[in-house]
Amino acid sequence: MSTATTERHDVVGHSNTPILELENVGKSYGNVHALRGVSLNVRQGEVTCVLGDNGAGKSTLIKIMSGLHDHTDGTMKLDGVARRFGSPRAAQASGIATVYQDLALAPLMSVWRNFFLGNELRKGPLRTLDIARMKRICEDELGKMGVVVPDLDRPVAGLSGGQRQCIAIARAIYFGARVIILDEPTAALGVKQSGVALRYIVKARDAGLGVIFITHNPHHAYLVGNHFIILKLGRVVLDAHRDDLTLEQLTTEMAGGQELAELSHELRGIDPGKVIEPGEVEHGHVEAPALSREELKAVEREDEEEPRA
Amino acid sequence: MTATATEPSRGLAARDDRVATRPLAARLLSRPEVGSLIAAIVIFLLFMAVAEPFRNVANVGTILYGASTIGIMAVPVALLMIGGEFDLSAGVAVTTSGLSASLLAWNFGLNVWVGILLALVVSVAIGAFNGWLLLKTGLPSFLVTLGTFFILQGVNLGVTRLLTGNVASADISDMDGFATAQKIFGSEVTLGPVNLKITVLYWVVLTVIAAYVLLRTQMGNWVFAVGGDAAAARAVGVPVRATKIGLFMAVGFCAWLSGMHLLFQFNTVQSGEGVGKEFIFIIAAVIGGCLLTGGYGSVVGASLGALIFGMTQLGINYAGWNPDWFRTFLGVMLLLATLVNMYVKRRADLR
Ligand SMILES: Nc1ncnc2c1ncn2[C@@H]1O[C@H](COP(=O)(O)OP(=O)(O)OP(=O)(O)O)[C@@H](O)[C@H]1O
Ligand SMILES: [Mg+2]
């Protein structure tokens, strides 16, 4: 894999123009400024990884690009032209497909109906649904992901979380024409399916698509990413190319530098192999882990930062 | 990370050996309309046993007529419920439609057909208004259509009294176009011993078209999706607003069809009519397997629900029971059918 990685740079280089450009984009939910002054470029044939803490604004960012939300500041350009998507349907018409963090599946609808929802295949003069073909494609695509769904006519509500996630990923990969956005696609997946999802990301890139990959896992990000963006409290705090960053640096940056070192130091004292006598406690009698002075200060600093914005 | 482990070849896509294929019976039993089908058969057998006139073939026409007047509205109301919304104004909207045609034609001396077309515009516009207001305000449809229910009820009474000084529209049977219109909306055909009203034809055609649209077209897929999870549907590119407004307009259209029958059957429309009918339509849809929360249900089931109404209404009469008990009977039916729906579905899903 590592040899392929180095070759890729030579072939593609940094020359191609971005398909999506965000300039100083901001988004407020009422008085909550979820995103502030975010600028980034998404290029075709590249994987752009977006990382950051819970609540950093990652999902908000991709919801703007997938047409679910409208940004409140700045401009978004598609192929160099300023655009606002009125709806996810408009974004899809521009070739952008998304795996949402909450998956966006209709629980009572069958697997194949969910797979083709909004993109139904039709045939004949009456524009009847081509059910046989949709089922076949759906089964094929899920089979390629290594998931076996027993009955494509069963409602998705009865499937496991990972199976549902696979349906959402397979759907986006199948319908993504130019850009594929994946919001924590591997969150509920087993080791094998995570591997398949990462391979799909690489495959999509090799097919010349732009991929935006959101994850909390720096190892996953570093396996496939060309570009790394770290968000913190709605701002971009790191925007680096793979060549300028090692996995260790990425991990450190994500964890906020010092914090990880401290955590590993602190956790060294916990004695992971230890087994304790069975016991019972009253409600609320499991002690909260004590935050160190630095951690408390970090939290305070973040609290201060909000009103200043 | 071996290729064989992660990418099983298509044909081999190892069937999960924990799941057996489901028997056909189980798949049929998990259909939403199964509760209403069982209920319809039971009620049919019950009245066959206890009511002598129920066995008379000539009464089939009467029973089907009663069912059709409810079924024509229960079908779009079921579609709307599957799409996640209610329409409490559906009952009085029928009266509004009949009154519009009659009063417009009579008041301005128009050809009856002009009145009919204007009533169509009014009815569909009321539906569109319900949908638009719902999406504009984000209020639950229960509240929005409760509002239109009262508004229309008042308008029906007020405008009729204003124009005619009476509680019913004037008789329009001597006006231009009435004869042809009555053929279209109020005629009947005789098949052997059975007299069938034209509404029965409309009911069957509507049921077939709606069932086809719901299960075999893109529109139908969208109806299930907006009812099941509107946010998810929007996120994957379903035009949620258009779908919902379209459903309300379909209810408007069928209210027009019912209203025209009302007008041309009796030549005049009582302005206070229709109140309470909205619940009958909703109950028919629920008996037919529609979930109150949306995203699940059946048009055929709703029509079976309407048939149950038709049979019960007349069956109680034919059996010589006191008709006071009709509503009680309906309430029990509603509870039983929904329980059967739930029970059968759960059993079938486990198989
Ligand atoms: N619909 C909303 N209304 C109000 N505030 C919102 C809404 N959606 C998100 N937010 C706020 O915006 C901020 C960013 O949320 P976002 O979902 O983008 O985070 P995230 O980076 O995706 O987090 P996670 O890793 O947990 O998925 C949070 O503070 C959140 O509370
Ligand atoms: Mg998120």
Ligand 1 atom 12, closest CA: A34
Only one residue has tokens 């974004």, namely A91
* Closest listed ligand to the CA of A231: 1
Residue A85: φ, ψ to 5°: -80, 125
Angstroms from A106 CA to nearest CA on chain B: 5
Q: What CA–CA distance (Å, rounded) separates B239 from A152?
A: 24
CA distance B263 to A247: 78
Residue nearest to atom 4 of ligand 1 (CA): A29
C-alpha–C-alpha distance, residues B114 and B133, integer Å: 28
Strands across the sheet with A32-43, in order?
A32-43, A18-29, A73-78, A81-82
Q: Report the pLDDT value the prediction gives residue A11, as an integer from 0 to 100.
A: 45
Q: Which domains does chain A have, with CATH numbers?
A: 20-104+178-260 (3.40.50.300)
Distance from CA of A127 to the nearest CA of B (A): 7
Average pLDDT over residues A199-211: 89
Taking the Cβ of residue A146 and every Cβ of chain B, the question of whether any pair is shorter than 8 Å is answered with: yes
Q: Tell me the nearest-neighbour CA distance from A253 into chain B, angstroms.
A: 28
Alpha-carbon distance of B124 to B66, in angstroms, equals: 24
Among A19-23, A77-81, A266-270, B149-153, the least confident range: A266-270
Could you tell me the domains of chain B?
Answer: 32-345 (1.10.3470)
A237-261 per-position pLDDT tens digit: 889 898 888 888 888 887 765 565 6
Atom 24 (ligand 1) nearest CA: A54
In the prediction, which pLDDT does B17 show?
57
Identify which of A180, A159, A151, A61 has the alpha carbon closest to the alpha carbon of residue A106.
Answer: A159
Give the relative orientation of helices B299-318 and B277-287 as an angle to the nearest 10 degrees.
120
Per-residue pLDDT, B48: 92
A192 → closest Cβ in B6, B27, B218? B6
Shortest Cα–Cα distance, A35 to chain B (Å) = 20
User: How many Å apart are CA B121 and CA B253, to the nearest integer?
Assistant: 9
Give A113-153 pLDDT, tens digit per residue.
Answer: 999 999 999 998 989 999 999 999 999 999 888 888 878 98
Residue A230 in this model has a pLDDT that exceeds 50: yes
Measuring from atom 3 of ligand 1, which residue has the nearest CA? A29
pLDDT at residue number B338: 79
Q: What is the pLDDT, as a whole number, of residue A145?
A: 81
Output the pLDDT for position A144: 85
Is there a contact between B14 and A148 if contact means CB atoms under 8 Å apart?
yes
pLDDT digits (tens, 9 = 90+) for B292-340: 888 999 999 999 999 999 999 889 888 888 888 888 888 888 888 778 7
Establish whether residue A31 lines the binding site of ligand 1, counting it when its CB lies within 6 angstroms of any ligand atom. Answer: no
- Choose the weakest-confidence range: A6-15, A21-30, A274-283, B318-327: A6-15
Q: Inform me whether the pLDDT recorded for A53 exceeds 70.
A: yes
Cα B151 to middle of ligand 2, angstroms: 44
Taking chain B (351 residues) in runs of 10, the rounded mean pLDDT of each run is 39 51 70 86 92 88 94 97 95 96 93 96 97 94 95 95 91 90 92 90 97 96 95 94 97 97 93 91 92 90 94 89 84 82 69 53
B317 by Cβ neighbours in 10 Å (0-12 / 13-18 / 19+) ranks as middle
Under the banding of pLDDT at 50, 70 and 90, the label for residue A171 is very high
What pLDDT sits at residue B15?
Answer: 52
Yes or no, beta carbons of B239 and A87 under 8 Å apart: yes
Nearest to A49 by CA among A291, A245, A267: A245
DSSP state at residue A125: T
State how far the alpha carbon of B95 is from the alpha carbons of A140, A202, A211, B259, in Å. Answer: 53, 62, 56, 6
Query: Which ligand 1 atom minimizes the distance to the CA of A216?
Result: 25
Q: What is the largest CA-CA distance in chain B?
A: 86
Look at residue A269 in the predicted model and tell me its pLDDT. 67
pLDDT at A293 over 90: no
Hey, is the C-beta of A80 within 8 angstroms of any chain B C-beta?
no
Of B16, B228, B234, nearest to A150 by CB-CB distance is B16
pLDDT at residue A1, as a whole number: 38
Nearest ligand for residue A64 CA: 1
For ligand 1, say whether the CB of A60 is within 6 Å of any of its atoms. yes
Q: How confident is the model at residue A309 (pLDDT cuts 50, 70, 90)?
A: very low
